[in-house]
């Protein structure tokens, strides 16, 4: 299993990096930390590249390399990477592969993580990155721009964890949204694993717009509870009626990790009408994990 | 599959919009006073501007689209388009981009660093004055991005030595970086070789048979203006980024130690300086006969022949797409003149502005300066000149003055990151914000426009 973790800067990405790396560890997944920096306008790209070559001779590197250096050091200080005492991070070990730069890390570091630098438009580059390697999950920070996380959710082929308003000092519980959609089962497995490995309690929430809950809903809720029992994860089950999105958001507050399956709507409908996960992401005040695939 | 199509459409929306606007205009009747091929040329220009600003497709693709449309719309035959694609101005842009690679790779930056700090000492304002002056004077001969590429490591190393915490010296960082970027951009007006746009305007002037300007004549008009601007720029930058540290004694000391490790000047560096001196002499004495571009290419050949640079390095760092785009832009610029489209736009603009004032000189100055300054901050300065040049030269008045005013105004690209290569280069450091360009840029722009007006009306008439 391989996770992609996108970082932007030391100031904004520390919580995402800390929590994201813990989740990767809980799945025993390989972690690729990716920085996407702004690409110079094509008009000037050659001249900027010339200036960068000149700067490198003075050991002044691309700002993205400094962000990756910080990420590497933070992963060492948080204990995610073992501090073996050897100098793992060397900007001279950056190699160009296709349209990205990858840091070649020595020894055991190289088996645990990859550090990747890309330049360009964020969504485009993360899509390319997902095409480069077989990622299961993309972890991103809660962007201030509403459309960014929204578009990433729509266009990335992987499951997406958006660390919206994440506070690493806070203890989070998981709010597992259960319905009869095909992706719910995978969401339950994903959420259940995180809960077990990270010691989080789970609330299973099933919301119906009507007063009655159909057989599909009750079966899905029952199956989810059985799965959590099998993992020995403590959980409570709730059945509520109302607007699903406002109910999810209200129940989650700011101390839950909302976990839900991806919408089964067609891409065209999602583009024009949106989807339940997208609208939940827009309104929620907490991190949200949207699980895609079967 | 459907998701990929939706994604493609969202990412390429400006391609779709530009082509839709082009198609819509194509279907509309030809405006009065304009022949069909002139109208089609204007459609190509408008579509190309949108594609250059938003870059939904790579620039070489835009260049090819311009050439293809000229033939498909029946504006010119394939051979005519091919002939107009290459000119001395394009040779100059190609040669100067390669010369930049050759010069930057010589490691002369350490010599420059030592020279500046030996003269300026450790007071911040003197260092800033040194950066602006050296960048301006050097870039007037070797081109703005070459100087920025050489000076930025020096500036950033100094800043790094001033404090380990970048947040404590943000203003100092801005001050040093903008001194380099604006100094270099400002200096590019000094001689024709300061920037490709100067050569493009000179090319239009002679190709349209409206007059001519030699290297030295250009300097007579523009260099005094550059010398007046240097102290004013230092004052404006100091006012905008009043630095946290007024004295950089320990930073200067550390920089001196670092630079000293590079040792004395090498034979290779001396040869490199010698070759550039020959190129400069060629521009001054030979360019009226063989052209600025040919001299630049001759310089590149000398750098290669002396083994001062490898072809692989030139090839890797030369943006061939930009060269293609300039070739295509100049080609369509010539068609604007030949089809009467440039004259038509110029007449329309003058008639429109006559509502405000009847003074044609003011109108010409307004268009050549303000429109150029406006467009240059969004479209890159050389592209602005390639598009606006044929129009402003068709507005009447003294063609030499219009040529100089437009080329010089296109250097006032201070307000946005995308305005000039120097702005983009310092932005790539990650240490300056887009708002910094506005903070400092509007002052620099107003100052530059005011100085240019004074020169047009007070100094240039004295030159005859």
Please give the backbone phi and psi of residue B102, each rounded to the nearest 5 degrees, phi first.
-60, -45
**Substitution target from A35, A47, A157 for chain B, most B beta carbons within 10 A:** A47
Are A178 and A159 part of one and the same domain?
no
- Please indicate, yes or no, if residue A84 is contained in any of the structural domains: yes
Are A249 and A105 part of one and the same domain?
no
- The CATH number linked to A105 is 3.40.50.620
Residue at which a domain ends, from A163, A187, A214? A163
Give the Cα separation of A99 and B453 in Å (integer).
47
Q: How would you label B56-93 residue by residue, b for 16+ Cβ within 10 Å and e otherwise?
A: bbebbbbbebbbebbeebebbeeebbeebbebbbbbbb
Are A237 and A145 part of one and the same domain?
no
Are A120 and A227 part of one and the same domain?
no
* Mean per-residue pLDDT, A225-236: 93
Residue at which a domain ends, from A163, A195, A212? A163
In this complex, the residue of B6, B105, B321 whose CB is nearest that of residue A42 is: B321
Q: What is the DSSP letter of B73?
A: T
Which is it for strands A94-97 and A2-7: parallel, antiparallel or unpaired? unpaired
Closest CA to B394 of B408, B411, B412, B406: B406
Tell whether A127 is within 8 A of chain B (Cβ): yes
CB contact under 8 A, A66 and B430: yes
Give the Cα separation of B435 and B174 in Å (integer).
11
Tell whether A46 is within 8 A of chain B (Cβ): yes
Tell whether B429 is within 8 A of chain A (Cβ): yes
Question: A113: which strand partners?
Answer: A31
Tell whether A11 is within 8 A of chain B (Cβ): no
Tell whether A92 is within 8 A of chain B (Cβ): no
> Which residues are CB-contacts of A237 (< 8 A; sequence separation ≥ 6)?
A203, A204, A206, A221, A225
Q: Has the ipTM of the complex gone over 0.90?
A: no
pLDDT of residue B93: 92
CB contact under 8 A, B429 and A63: yes
CB contact under 8 A, A58 and B157: yes
Give the Cα separation of B376 and B381 in Å (integer).
5
DSSP string of B90-150? HHHHHHHHHHHHHHHTTTTHHHHHHHHHHHHTTBHHHHHHHHHHHHHHHHHHH-HHHHHHH
Q: What is the DSSP letter of B248?
A: -
Give the Cα separation of A225 and A234 in Å (integer).
10
Residues of A in contact with B152 (CB under 8 A): 51, 54-55
CB contact under 8 A, A55 and B153: yes
In this complex, the residue of B383, B428, B431 whose CB is nearest that of residue A52 is: B428
Tell whether B309 is within 8 A of chain A (Cβ): no
Are A147 and A184 part of one and the same domain?
no
Q: Calculate the CA A10 to chain-centre distance.
A: 17
Are A84 and A206 part of one and the same domain?
no
Give the Cα separation of B276 and B298 in Å (integer).
11
pLDDT of residue B15: 95
Tell whether B101 is within 8 A of chain A (Cβ): yes
CB atoms within 10 A of CB A145: 9
Are A125 and A185 part of one and the same domain?
no
Q: Chain A: give the shortest CA distance to residue B421, in Å.
A: 5
Q: Is B87 helix (H, G, I), strand (E, B) or coil?
A: coil
Closest CA to B340 of B82, B38, B97, B137: B38
pLDDT at A144 over 80: no
Q: Chain A: give the shortest CA distance to residue B399, in Å.
A: 29
Q: What is the DSSP letter of A164?
A: T
Residues of A in contact with B420 (CB under 8 A): 44
- Please indicate, yes or no, if residue A134 is contained in any of the structural domains: yes
Task: Mark which residues 18-37 of A lie under 8 Å from B by CB.
Answer: 37
- The CATH number linked to A222 is 3.40.50.12370
Which is it for strands A173-177 and A159-163: parallel, antiparallel or unpaired? unpaired
- Please indicate, yes or no, if residue A168 is contained in any of the structural domains: no
Q: Enter the tokens of residue B372.
A: 């150029």
Q: What is the DSSP letter of B166?
A: G
Which is it for strands A159-163 and A137-141: parallel, antiparallel or unpaired? parallel
Tell whether A44 is within 8 A of chain B (Cβ): yes
- Please indicate, yes or no, if residue A272 is contained in any of the structural domains: yes
CB contact under 8 A, A47 and B424: yes
CB contact under 8 A, A121 and B149: no
**Substitution target from B314, B322, B428, B429 for chain A, most A beta carbons within 10 A:** B428
Q: Give the residue from chain A lying closest to B421, CA to CA.
A: A44
Closest CA to B191 of B155, B167, B148, B223: B223
Could you tell me the residue range of the domain that residue A70 belongs to? 2-163
Are A14 and A124 part of one and the same domain?
yes
Task: Mark which residues 2-31 of B lie under 8 Å from A by CB.
Answer: 2-3, 6-7, 10-11
* Mean per-residue pLDDT, A117-132: 92
Tell whether A47 is within 8 A of chain B (Cβ): yes
Any idea what the Cα angle at residue A200 is, between residues A197 and A201, rounded to 5°?
A: 130
CB contact under 8 A, B2 and A48: no
pLDDT at A146 over 80: no
Beta-carbon pairs below 8 A across chains A and B:
108
CB contact under 8 A, B109 and A54: yes
Average pLDDT, chain A: 88
Are A194 and A233 part of one and the same domain?
yes
Give the Cα separation of B126 and B116 in Å (integer).
10
With a cut of 50, list the residues of chain B below it in pLDDT: none
pLDDT tens per residue, range A39-96: 888 888 888 988 988 888 888 888 899 899 999 989 988 888 877 666 678 888 888 8
Residue at which a domain ends, from A137, A163, A189? A163
CB contact under 8 A, B153 and A60: yes
Q: Give the residue from chain B lying closest to A48, CA to CA.
A: B425
pLDDT of residue A86: 63
Give the Cα separation of A272 and B82 in Å (integer).
45
Residues of A in contact with B59 (CB under 8 A): 42-43
CB contact under 8 A, A47 and B152: no
pLDDT of residue B32: 93
Give the Cα separation of A282 and B405 in Å (integer).
51
Closest CA to A26 of A50, A1, A46, A8: A1
Q: Enter the tokens of residue A244.
A: 């699903």
Give the Cα separation of B328 and B349 in Å (integer).
25
Residues of B in contact with A40 (CB under 8 A): 424, 427-428
> Which residues are CB-contacts of B19 (< 8 A; sequence separation ≥ 6)?
B47
Tell whether B52 is within 8 A of chain A (Cβ): yes
Which is it for strands A113-119 and A30-37: parallel, antiparallel or unpaired? parallel
DSSP string of A69-120? HHHHHHHHHTTSS---SS----GGGEEEETTEEEE---HHHHHHEEEEEEES
- Please indicate, yes or no, if residue A178 is contained in any of the structural domains: yes
Are A189 and A127 part of one and the same domain?
no
In this complex, the residue of B6, B58, B421 whose CB is nearest that of residue A268 is: B6
Number of H helices, E strands in chain A: 11, 12
Residues of B in contact with A54 (CB under 8 A): 104, 109, 149-150, 152-153
CB atoms within 10 A of CB B289: 8
* Mean per-residue pLDDT, A195-222: 89
Question: A30: which strand partners?
Answer: A2
Are A198 and A263 part of one and the same domain?
yes
Are A198 and A273 part of one and the same domain?
yes
Give the Cα separation of B421 and B409 in Å (integer).
16
Give the Cα separation of A288 and A45 in Å (integer).
37
User: What does the radius of gyration of chain B's CA atoms come to, in whole angstroms?
Assistant: 23
Q: Give the residue from chain B lying closest to A157, CA to CA.
A: B3
Q: What is the DSSP letter of B192?
A: G
Tell whether A66 is within 8 A of chain B (Cβ): yes
What's the total number of domains in chain A?
2
Q: Give the residue from chain A lying closest to B429, CA to CA.
A: A63
**Cα first-last separation, chain B:** 67
Tell whether B40 is within 8 A of chain A (Cβ): no
- Please indicate, yes or no, if residue A262 is contained in any of the structural domains: yes
Task: Mark which residues 355-394 of B lie under 8 Å from A by CB.
Answer: 380, 383
Tell whether B158 is within 8 A of chain A (Cβ): no
**Substitution target from B11, B111, B149, B416 for chain A, most A beta carbons within 10 A:** B149
């Amino acid at each position: 299993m391989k996770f992609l973790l996108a970082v932007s800067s030391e100031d904004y990405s520390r919580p995402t990096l800390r929590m994201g790396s813990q989740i990767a560890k809980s799945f025993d997944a390989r972690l690729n930390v990716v920085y996407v920096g702004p690409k110079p306008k094509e008009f000037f790209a050659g001249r900027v590249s010339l200036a960068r070559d000149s700067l490198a001779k003075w050991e002044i590197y691309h700002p993205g390399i400094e962000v990756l250096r910080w990420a590497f050091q933070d992963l060492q200080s948080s204990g995610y990477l073992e501090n073996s005492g050897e100098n793992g991070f060397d900007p001279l070990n950056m190699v160009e592969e296709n349209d990205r730069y990858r840091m070649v890390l020595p020894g055991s570091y190289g088996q645990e993580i990859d550090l990747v630098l890309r330049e360009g438009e964020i969504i485009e580059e993360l899509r390319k990155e997902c095409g480069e390697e077989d990622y299961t999950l993309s972890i991103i920070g809660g962007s201030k721009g509403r459309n960014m996380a929204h578009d990433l959710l729509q266009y990335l082929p992987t499951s997406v964890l958006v660390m919206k308003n994440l506070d690493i000092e806070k203890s989070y519980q998981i709010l597992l949204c259960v319905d009869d959609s095909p992706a719910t089962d995978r969401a339950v497995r994903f959420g259940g694993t995180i809960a077990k490995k990270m010691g989080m309690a789970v609330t299973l929430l099933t919301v119906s717009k009507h007063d009655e809950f159909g057989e599909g809903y009750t079966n899905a809720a029952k199956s989810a509870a059985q799965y959590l029992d099998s993992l020995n994860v403590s959980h409570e089950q709730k059945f509520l009626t109302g607007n699903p999105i406002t109910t999810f958001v209200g129940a989650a507050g700011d101390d839950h990790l909302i976990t839900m399956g991806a919408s089964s709507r067609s891409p065209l409908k999602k583009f024009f009408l949106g989807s339940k996960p997208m609208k939940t992401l827009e309104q929620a005040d907490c991190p949200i994990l949207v699980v895609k695939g079967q | 599959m459907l998701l990929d199509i939706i994604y493609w459409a969202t990412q390429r929306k400006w391609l779709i919009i530009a082509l839709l606007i082009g198609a819509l205009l194509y279907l509309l009747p030809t405006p009065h006073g304009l022949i069909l091929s002139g109208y089609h040329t204007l459609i190509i220009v408008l579509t190309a501007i949108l594609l250059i600003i938003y870059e939904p497709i790579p620039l070489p693709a835009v260049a090819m689209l311009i050439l293809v449309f000229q033939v498909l719309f029946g504006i010119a035959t394939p051979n005519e388009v091919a002939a107009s694609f290459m000119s001395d101005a394009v040779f100059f842009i190609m040669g100067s981009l390669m010369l930049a690679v050759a010069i930057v790779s010589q490691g002369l930056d350490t010599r420059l660093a030592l020279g500046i700090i030996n003269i300026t000492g450790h007071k911040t304002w003197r260092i800033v004055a040194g950066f602006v002056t050296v960048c301006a004077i050097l870039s007037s001969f070797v081109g703005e991005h070459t100087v920025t590429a050489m000076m930025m490591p020096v500036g950033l190393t100094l800043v790094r030595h001033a404090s380990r915490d970048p947040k404590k010296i943000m203003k100092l960082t801005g001050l040093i970086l903008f001194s380099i970027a604006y100094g270099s951009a400002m200096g590019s007006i000094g001689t024709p070789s300061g920037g490709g746009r100067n050569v493009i305007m000179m090319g239009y002037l002679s190709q349209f048979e409206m007059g001519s300007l030699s290297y030295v004549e250009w300097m007579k008009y523009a260099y005094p203006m550059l010398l007046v601007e240097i102290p004013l720029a230092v004052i404006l930058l100091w006012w905008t980024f009043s630095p946290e540290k007024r004295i950089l004694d320990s930073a200067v000391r550390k920089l001196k130690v670092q630079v000293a490790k590079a040792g004395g000047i090498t034979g290779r560096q001396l040869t490199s300086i010698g070759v550039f001196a020959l190129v400069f002499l060629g521009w001054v004495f030979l360019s009226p006969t063989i052209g600025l571009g040919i001299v630049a290419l001759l310089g590149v050949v000398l750098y290669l022949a002396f083994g001062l640079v490898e072809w692989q390095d030139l090839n890797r760092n030369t943006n061939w797409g930009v060269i293609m785009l300039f070739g295509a832009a100049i080609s369509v610029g010539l068609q604007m003149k030949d089809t009467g489209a440039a004259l038509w736009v110029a007449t329309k603009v003058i008639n429109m502005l006559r509502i405000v004032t009847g003074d044609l000189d003011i109108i010409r100055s307004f268009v050549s300066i303000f429109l150029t300054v406006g467009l240059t901050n969004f479209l890159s300065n050389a592209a602005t000149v390639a598009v606006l040049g044929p129009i402003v030269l068709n507005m009447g008045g003294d063609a030499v003055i219009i040529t100089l005013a437009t080329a010089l105004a296109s250097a006032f690209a201070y307000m946005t990151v995308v305005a000039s290569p120097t702005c983009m280069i310092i932005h790539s450091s990650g240490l300056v914000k887009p708002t910094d360009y506005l903070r400092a840029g509007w002052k620099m722009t107003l100052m530059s426009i005011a100085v240019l007006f004074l020169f047009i009306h007070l100094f240039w008439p004295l030159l005859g």
